[in-house]
Amino acid sequence: MMNSPILNLTIAKSILDIIFKALLQNVKMKLLLGLLGLITLISSLALPSHPTTCSTSKILNGVLVNGSVPMGGNPLTPFDSPMLSTFNSTSVEDWSFDGVSSSSQSGLSITLSRGTTAGHPGAQRAILAIAWPDGTHYINLTYFDESTITICPGTITGTWKNNISGDSWIFQASDDYKHTLVTIDSAAVKGTYKLTSISPPLYPNGLQYPNENGDPLFAPLLYWVENVPVGIVEVNITINGIPFVFHGIGGRERNWNSKPWGEISSSWDMARGSVGPYTFIAWSYISNIDRKTYFSMVLMKFGKVIFKTQIGGNETSAKRYGVISSKTDGNVNLFSPGMTNSRSTGYSFEMVTLGTGERWKFEIDFTKSVYWFPASKTASIGGFVGSVSGGLVGGKQYVGLSSGNLQELI
């Protein structure tokens, strides 16, 4: 039987169609696999790496290197991670915690440091400052033999310890920053500070961690991130057997600098607060490096960012702006030992979104100073607690609590 040319052509065409479809399907599959691979790569670059095993960073008191040291600035680095692996004679990094009681009449501040502080090169130091309702103050400065930061899946632990006395100050935090516990075990001070976050971890530009567009460099030589802009605080401490216990609000942040605070900073005003459904964090900072003002203000409602603005140097925002101004109509003056003529009694915060016309205003009134100590020969650092009131202008107004700190020239 002879094959028909038409039949052969039809068969050939069918075979070619099958081959073409197979090739097309193969190309599509390769493209799909390629896209999936690209998406996976991008995702891995845009998200922080979570450890699968534990790692440790141990720094000994007084151990220094010569020359400059690298400063961590990767926005995807977990906030509690060590940002310096070695220290020279000027670099320092801090883990800071604070709180105000529900009555606004008590306050607390804790700072754990690595590096040069108060003229002590390469120190491993802790500061505890407390204010009781009756105005009594207590400050404890402890220097340690070593500090160790241990990063494990889900948790980060920092331990400042003296080998002979056995004294230790330890912070433990979940890697989502929702839970923090500071435990103090020394001869004079024993107890705990517990912080449960009600706001997301933030960069100075108001973006939420993790975000590759976040930038921890806030001002020249000054890095800053807010692990917990605002949270619920529980304090249960004894000082030489005297109890100091309260519930309230507070927060915590990280800073790391290549030079001491007193050298890079001229002055600043910083505050956090919780009032009704709102929480906020704000910092107005004048650099001693370039004499310019750097400003960050973030407002959250039910834990969601609804307003953010950042100004650095000569930059301005065309969409929104914030203002921090001093108040003088309150009942408690906050002044350092070198500025006894100060009339400041609090702050007024304003936040404006130009596109929508929304405007929020909050008034902070100081109730107690928590500490004052010298930052340099020409500046003092102070901490405060207070009450706050405000909300959306024209809307419902609320009352709440605030804590913060400032540096002023003397």
Please enumerate in sequence order all residues whose Cβ is within 8 A of that of 198, keeping only pairs 6 or more positions apart, or say none: 230, 231, 232, 274, 279, 303
CATH of 55-409, one of 3.30.420.40, 3.50.50.60, 2.40.370.10, 3.30.230.10: 2.40.370.10
What are the phi and psi torsion angles at 21 (to 5°)? -65, -40
Q: Is the pLDDT of residue 19 over 60?
A: no
Which pLDDT score, from 0 to 100, does residue 7 have? 40
Which pLDDT score, from 0 to 100, does residue 26 have? 55
Domain boundaries, the chain: 55-409
Cis preceding-peptide flag for 82 (omega within 30 of 0): no
Q: Is the pLDDT of residue 110 over 70?
A: yes
Q: Please give the average per-residue pLDDT across 78-102, as a whole number.
A: 98
Q: Is the pLDDT of residue 39 over 80?
A: no
Q: Please give the average per-residue pLDDT across 343-347, as a whole number.
A: 91
Contact 407, 375 (CB under 8 A): yes
Q: Is the pLDDT of residue 49 over 60?
A: no
Which pLDDT score, from 0 to 100, does residue 20 have? 45
Task: Count Cβ atoms within 10 A of the Cβ of residue 187 and give its class: 0-12 exposed, 13-18 middle, 19 or more buried.
Answer: exposed
Q: Please give the average per-residue pLDDT across 161-168, as a whole number.
A: 96
Contact 107, 334 (CB under 8 A): no
DSSP tag of 202: B
Q: Please give the average per-residue pLDDT across 145-149, as a whole number.
A: 99
